[in-house]
Structure 1
Amino acid sequence: MNTKVDITLVIYGLALFSGISYLWGFWINFDINILSYVALTDIVKASVYPALPAIGVLAFYSAMDGYNAMSKKKHDEMVAEGGVFKGFTYFVKFYAVVMKQIADTHH
């Protein structure tokens, strides 16, 4: 017996649940049972519209990650050359250590 759950089924279920919850939670304040008046398209719209900006940002960052990706060979060449790239890596490491120390002292 195959009990593997498809990720799209989970996403669709969560989207429908959030859409129904949003509509029901909003209209219950006015003592209106929205589930008797709502159509399936209204639930889908209430589920998808809030997620569109997040999907757009994810697509943008994925595209930028693919565009800015550096090959291992090129990375090794830049590290071997030193210069600005090597200084930048030292700066980032130093900055991370300092920020960690500051965060630890404030907690």
Structure 2
Amino acid sequence: MKFNLPISAILTTYILICGFAYLWGYWDNFDIEIKTIIQLLDVADIIKASILPMLSIIGLSLMHSLITYSDGYLIKKNTYSDYLTFKEKKSSGYKILFYILFTISGLTSIYYLWKYFDSDANLEYYKAISVLVLSSSSYFIITNKNIIPNINANLRLILLYSIIMLPALMLDKGALDGNNIKNGKDVILMVNNSYCSNDKNEVFYYLATYGGKGVSYSPSNDMICIFTYDNLGLKSKSKLTINVGSQEKEI
């Protein structure tokens, strides 16, 4: 019995996985278990975190349309089918690119494992595992002769590899963004911290808003504060933005 999943279901699942990976990497910086964040999330929050993969999918769709309507003259030259047919004659450039991509994957996994053993940071271990699992999966998908064989072999290799490895990249991107905020780079400050502290001079970095609740972080004591944001004030550089109920004002 042949079982076919709708392409929309596959894309939706893929986008949600990418968004979840980003959130996992982001919140790991603040020593919060992902299951705690999940309790605050709804589907819309995960979709917001999935904007980058969504844009990637839209870009690939536009490229596919361009190939289709332009008859893909350039892209249909030296296809993967050609590579399989004339493997010995046309394999050198393709093989070099193939080995470069998978060497990068291997070295990346080794780097993450080294960081894990050096710092005992669990996320680095999961980064290494995600790269190993996804690169192994990409190998079997890329070498499958039935998957888009009629486009340029090198372009096909890069596209498939990039799509499959994107969840691992999102995990790393989330970890990088969270680390930047924790270290005070490009932060948004809370103007009114009375929800979170009795000390009006204590600094809180705004982190996110999930399901009608805001989340902030105090760099002085690593405290996480979860609060309602009806009267939340935020300050970024010289601009002060105040949310009063559902209205937003700028000073």
Q: Structure 2-normalised TM-score?
A: 0.24
Q: Return the index of the structure with the highest Cα Rg.
A: 1
- Determine which structure has greater relative contact order: mean sequence separation of CA pairs < 8 Å that are 6+ residues apart, divided by chain length: 2
Instruction: Flag the structure with higher helix content.
Output: 1
TM-score (norm 1): 0.48
User: Relative to total residues, which structure has the larger strand share, 1 or 2?
Assistant: 2
